[in-house]
Chains A and B, each alone.
Chain A
Amino acid sequence: MLGYLVRRILATIPVMAFVALFVFSLLYIAPGDPAAVIAGDQASPEDVEKIRKSLGLDRPFLVRFTEWSGQVLTGNLGTSMFTGLPVTELIRQRVEPTLSLMIVTLILAIVIAVPIGVVAAWKVGSWLDRAFMAFAVMGFSVPVFVVGYLLAYVFALELDWLPVQGYTAMSKGFWPWLENLILPAIALGFVYIALIARITRATMLEVLSQDYIRTARAKGLGERGVLFLHALKNAAVPIVTVIGIGVALLIGGAVVTESVFAIPGLGRLTIDAIVRRDYPLIQGIVLMFSFVYVLVNLIVDLIYTALDPRIRY
């Protein structure tokens, strides 16, 4: 197990290196000029050129890539071209809101979606099953921003129960932190709930038709025990896989959700960086997201061993 862990961690290095090279190359060939954006409309071409030079954008690809790679290896992701602040500081400022949003969404999604999937499978073909699956289809179909605006309109503007926007750090109290995250988490979690609920239902249906479930019922085991102790545990591996894959959905959805609810997270930082062509910042964020994704996959693989003793690495 330890050997597997070490091998997997080492395997992330070439993955990250490839991501770094790919992102750097993509940005190098992409159109857009940060110097022109910085200089503004009144600037002369000479001024733009001077800014370009001061940012080091006039240097060849290999020189810039080598220098940046060297910095990254020492933990320095460079300096944002626009703010003049270190990329690590900008990311650090934004990690807490995004992480909080993802954690609350994840908890909310699992707590709602898994029981829905289990009950839908248990009552397959009933009105309850159809209602839950209709809800799941809606979750897939309605965009995050539409859900977000509706929630904000009803719960913030009309009922005045929750704030429209913003983020309060957890250090300022649990409720102020949570009240800013409830609506965004529901909006972001909508598609995630739908995804997990459908997979849970499908897997549970398969498991519930197995012989050992019939045996359990024949032994006189209660339905709750059958569903949650026997069936759900055996259906857990695909569900955990989907939850892991869904983290990518959350990262993508966070970009929209953070804009709709004005949460100062990594999603908005990414958009701002792309719009302004802030190359070091884009590179830093993409590298960090790819690392998170690799890490989540590793965690999912490790959870498999806990859920299914037959799986050994």
Chain B
Amino acid sequence: MALRSRRIDITEQSRPVLARHAKLKFDESRQAWVILVPEKVLAPDEIAVEILQLCDGVRNVDQIIDVLAAKYAADRAMIGADVIAMLRDLADKGFLAEAQDTKP
């Protein structure tokens, strides 16, 4: 049979959101952000958290990069590469879904 992957691809047009089974949460007891996934806990740094909070199902990756480039007055190409790399990493692990996939 053909091997298929249900990992989504990330482009500037993607509108990624965390999958139902990947939960971004502020852990009050440790005063730290965490991403809860099957049988694992990920510890995102501040910028990773900010990117994921911008993944609201409305903005696409292009717009997310715009927001961050404006906020940090930084080189757009560099920020863009970082954002896409991080989102691809999460997508490859199956923790992201396309916004339209999750809405009826």
A and B from one complex? no
B contacts, CB < 8 Å to A: none
